[in-house]
């Protein structure tokens, strides 16, 4: 049993790029949606390490499935988790229209109209 969590996976043109949570979230296009709809304030950094959390949950799921397979077949597995792809998988409401119609996400539709005391959207 072997599990790997990397920024962009083991294959592809970005496989050797070093990155962290914010970089993978930005590469997935999520930071563009966090801009203020009232003005172009620039992207807002998400307050939780979402790529780290999502990729660890997917790794846990993959490891549990691999352990179950080992119990049934006796063979091991390699679980490869990409932080970037984890964020993409959790963003279908944003990315579907982008990939389907080649259009940018609508920042106004992707948030609620309420703000918290610290100017974060709810």
Is residue 52 annotated as a catalytic residue, yes or no? yes
Out of 52, 77, 102, 106, which one is annotated catalytic?
Answer: 52
- CA of 2: how far to CAs of 36, 57, 60, in Å? 42, 16, 12
Give the integer Cα–Cα distance in Å for 53 and 39.
30
The whole-number pLDDT of residue 75 equals 94
pTM for the model stands at 0.74
Helix spans in 1-122 (H):
21-27, 30-33, 50-73, 83-89, 92-101
For residues 18-33, one letter each, b for 16 or more C-beta atoms within 10 angstroms of the residue's C-beta and e for the rest, the string is ebebbbbbbbbbbbeb
Domain locations in the chain as residue ranges: 2-101
* pLDDT tens-place string over residues 90-102: 886 666 666 676 6
2-101: CATH number? 3.40.50.10540
């Amino acid at each position: 049993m072997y599990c790997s969590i990397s920024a962009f996976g083991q294959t592809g043109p970005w496989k050797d790029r070093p990155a962290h949570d914010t970089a993978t979230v930005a590469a997935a296009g999520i930071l563009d949606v966090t801009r203020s709809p009232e003005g172009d304030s620039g992207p807002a950094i998400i307050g939780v390490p979402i790529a780290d959390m999502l990729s660890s949950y997917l790794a846990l799921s993959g490891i549990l499935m691999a352990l179950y397979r080992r119990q049934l077949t006796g063979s091991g597995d390699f679980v490869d988790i990409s932080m970037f792809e984890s964020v993409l998988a959790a963003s279908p409401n944003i990315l579907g229209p982008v990939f389907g119609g080649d259009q940018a996400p609508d920042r106004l539709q992707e948030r609620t109209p309420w703000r918290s005391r610290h100017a974060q959207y709810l």
